[in-house]
């Protein structure tokens, strides 16, 4: 018994030693910036000179900042579109690729996975050219089809810019959720499908009564990831529109970047950063709690 306790103690020490570097960098780059940003939010600071303590002055300005609230609304739109578009399409692709009757499944998996392997900035630049008013692929196709009335300035029109960017975002992240769902589908015991087939279930019935209930935990996790990701999204929007035109596609993260590194208002940028963290934490917590209650009732 003493040898067993000593062995377990040594294993715990070994685990702690191997985890220590990862935990250190996680705390350094993920945890520490939160209180540091909260501290900087209490100052007027350019990032270079002396900090001037102003208390909650930055927060008072944030509450009255119309551009911040516009960017918050854009983030909420992105949340709705991300959850309502990315997850259903990813689920459909996963079901399609998991079917035994699907030929060339490996080929399609590779093709669908390519956007996830591509740099977000490269994707933003590529889609910016696709949407180009004069020689972009979208307008060229519309012109060749004779649909001249459909030709638009996709990234220059304030009414279209945000939704045009959302197309690129969906194209980028649908493969990620497809992989999650595909792994979950493969993990479903084959006996469940065989029992359903013996009972006479076919096609949509198997999906509704076997596949979908088994995927519920994965769907919830994917929805939380999509929610949090949409609330703090930055790179593709910044590469495509830089939040324009006239802040039409501005997100909270792009607004934070501009205030911090364009206007050199590090104190106010830190305030926006902390606000993003608090908003994401509150919304994701409420979403998780409501989802768990519905799951418990069912």
What's the number of CA atoms in the CB half-sphere (13 Å) around residue 154? Answer: 24
pLDDT tier for residue 4 given thresholds of 50, 70 and 90: very low
139, pLDDT greater than 90: yes
Ramachandran category for residue 104: left, alpha or beta (phi over 0 → left; psi -120 to 50 → alpha): left
Pick the CATH number of 65-264 from 3.40.50.300, 3.90.25.10, 1.10.3720.10, 2.60.300.12: 1.10.3720.10
Instruction: Select the highest-mean-pLDDT range: 11-20, 212-221, 288-297.
Output: 212-221
Q: Which of 85, 93, 132, 139 is nearest to 113 (CA)?
A: 93
Beta pairing partners, 53: 43
Tens of pLDDT, residue by residue over 35-67, are 999 999 999 999 888 999 999 999 999 999 999
User: How far, CA to CA in Å, does 1 sit from each of 4, 5, 9?
Assistant: 5, 6, 12
Tens of pLDDT, residue by residue over 82-117, are 999 999 999 999 988 887 666 677 777 788 888 888
Are 236 and 164 spatial neighbours (Cβ–Cβ below 8 Å)? no
5, pLDDT greater than 60: no
- DSSP one-letter string for the chain: -HHHHHHHHHHHHHHHHHHHHHHHHHIIIIITHHHHHHHHTTEE--SSS--EE-TTHHHHHHHT-HHHHHHHHHHHHHHHHIIIIIHHHHHHHHHHHH-TT-TTHHHHHHHHHHHHHS-HHHHHHHHHHHT-TTT-HHHHHHHHTT-GGG---TTTSTTTHHHHHHHHHHHHHHHHHHHHHHHHHHTS-HHHHHHHHHTT--THHHIIIIIHHHTHHHHHHHHHHHHHHHHT--HHHHHHTTT-STTTT--HHHHHHIIIIIS--HHHHHHHHHHHHHHHHHHHHHHHHHHHHHHHH-
């Amino acid at each position: 018994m003493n040898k067993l306790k000593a062995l377990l103690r040594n294993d715990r020490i070994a685990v702690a030693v191997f985890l220590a570097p990862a935990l250190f960098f996680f705390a350094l780059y993920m945890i520490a910036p939160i209180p540091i940003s909260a501290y900087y939010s209490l100052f007027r600071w350019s990032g270079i000179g002396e900090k001037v303590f102003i208390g909650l002055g930055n927060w008072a300005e944030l509450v009255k900042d119309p551009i911040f609230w516009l960017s918050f609304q854009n983030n909420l739109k992105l949340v709705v579109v991300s959850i309502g578009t990315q997850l259903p399409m990813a689920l459909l692709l996963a079901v399609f690729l998991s079917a035994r009757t699907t030929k060339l499944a490996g080929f399609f998996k590779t093709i669908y996975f390519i956007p996830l392997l591509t740099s977000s900035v490269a994707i933003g630049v590529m889609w910016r050219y696709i949407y180009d008013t004069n020689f972009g692929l979208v307008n060229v196709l519309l012109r060749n089809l004779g649909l001249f009335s459909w030709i638009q300035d996709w990234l220059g029109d304030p009414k279209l810019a945000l939704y045009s960017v959302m197309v690129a975002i969906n194209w980028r992240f649908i493969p990620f959720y497809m992989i999650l769902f595909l792994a979950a589908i493969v993990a479903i015991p084959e006996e469940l499908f065989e029992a359903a087939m013996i009972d006479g279930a076919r096609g949509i019935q198997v999906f509704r009564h076997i596949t979908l209930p088994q995927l519920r935990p994965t769907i919830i996790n994917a929805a939380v990831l999509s929610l949090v990701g949409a609330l703090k999204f930055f790179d593709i929007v910044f590469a495509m529109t830089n939040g324009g035109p006239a802040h039409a596609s501005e997100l909270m993260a792009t607004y934070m970047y501009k205030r911090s590194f364009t206007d050199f208002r590090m104190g106010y940028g830190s305030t926006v950063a902390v606000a993003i963290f608090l908003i994401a934490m509150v919304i994701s917590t409420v979403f998780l709690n409501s989802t768990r209650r519905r799951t418990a009732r069912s």
